[in-house]
Amino acid sequence: MRRHLKILDFALASLQRRPFKNWAIIAVYAFTVAVVASVLFLTQSIRREAAQLFVGAPELTVQRMVGGRHVPIDIGVGETIAAFPSVVGVEPRFWGYTYDAVTESTITIMGAGPGMATIDLVEGRLPTRPTESAIGAGVAAMWGAEVGGEVILVDAATTGVLYEVVGTFESPSDILTNDLVVMTAEEAALFLGLPEGKATDLAVRVANDNEIDTIAAKVKRAFPDSRPITRSEVLRTYDAVFHWRSGMMLAVFSGGLIAFVILAWDKATGLSAEERREIGILKAVGWDTGDVLELKMWEGVVISSTSLILGLITAMVHVFVLGAPLLTPMLRGWSVLFPELHPTPHVDPYLLFAIGFLTVVPYVAATVAPSWKAAVTDPDEVVRG
């Protein structure tokens, strides 16, 4: 052990003799790790947050499809579905979107129903009259509205409608409520222009999770023009979307990744004359090949570990403290009212291991491999060049 520690001490002293070069390598290396880790931390955090949001979501959502497009569904369909075994309840839902030309924002409109029980109010209550509404934090900030104030929305008939604000929302995640305006179910249907007896979709509650796919198949057989969507399918869709967007973000930052590949390739293609001379001197004074390779291994481990730690710390600060300001524009999509992100700190140990393995191991190998040829060459030949 003492021998290995002495070699490590010599490796640290050797690195200190070339501070500019090594710190330049660490800077590029740490930047690469920070980019990759930031993307992975952010997408993992958002996916985990989305999964938590869908804990209270209905087990099955039923929509009607015409010509491949989602259209209003008959509320009476819910009565038939409610009679299926294992179905404990069917709730018609009224929701849609309206565009505010003044703020150039798309706002989500939803009718109050049992699903609202999973969302807490910061202040006030849910609407009980047609002239009342409850709004999310983004809508409140956009119009400077608060409980007791008023908002004007343009309905399906392009008519401006005045609503009194009786409540503002909070939620485990602003992703759910930031651009939301809640009305009574009847007013939401009227505002969105839904025909009488029609709903946007049906939320189906199933007592036994093992029966969800069976219920979905029964719905499809009973109503061929319907599209049953299970909660697990929604979660898989979110996963696919964030996987795709994380890949897009990595493509945007591919320049940094290419810089790291070039750096590793340059390290692997050969040693500088000074490094070869140093290996030759060590061999001449009694070091064997194993000692030289261990020395180079320690140099690679020190540089790669330092870069890894700095990169991970930078990524955590960027994502979990600053809210990932460099990455969120790529995730926001079309919504101007997308909330400020405050990802919950959560790092999967497997993710850390994967990042470390994919960055440390290749660099250490690229450091040790070219040293082997110099280490097995006659010291006199190496020193003379």
Task: Tell me the CB-side half-sphere exposure of residue 218, using CA atoms within 13 A.
Answer: 18
The confidence score (pLDDT) of residue 368 equals 75
pTM, 2 dp = 0.69
10-residue block means of pLDDT along the chain (385 residues)? 77 80 83 84 77 77 92 94 92 91 84 73 88 89 87 89 90 70 94 94 92 93 93 78 63 63 60 68 73 81 90 91 77 55 72 82 76 62 56
The confidence score (pLDDT) of residue 373 equals 64
Dist. CA 181–CA 247, nearest whole Å? 33
The confidence score (pLDDT) of residue 47 equals 75
The confidence score (pLDDT) of residue 311 equals 92
3-state secondary structure the chain: CHHHHHHHHHHHHHHHCCHHHHHHHHHHHHHHHHHHHHHHHHHHHHHHHHHHHHHHCCCEEEEEEECCEEECEECHHHHHHHCCCCEEEEEEECEEEEEECCCCEEEEEEECCHHHHHCEEEEECCCCCCCEEEECHHHHHHHCCCCCCEEEEECCCCCEEEEEEEEEEECCCHHHHCCEEEECHHHHHHHHCCCCCEECEEEEEECCHHHHHHHHHHHHHHCCCEEEEEHHHHHHHHHHHHHHHHHHHHHHCHHHHHHHHHHHHHHHCCCCHHHHHHHHHHHHCCCCHHHHHHHHHHHHHHHHHHHHHHHHHHHHHHHHHCCCCCCHHHHHCCCCCCCCCCCCCCCCHHHHHHHHHHHHHHHHHHHHHHHHHHHHCCHHHHHHC
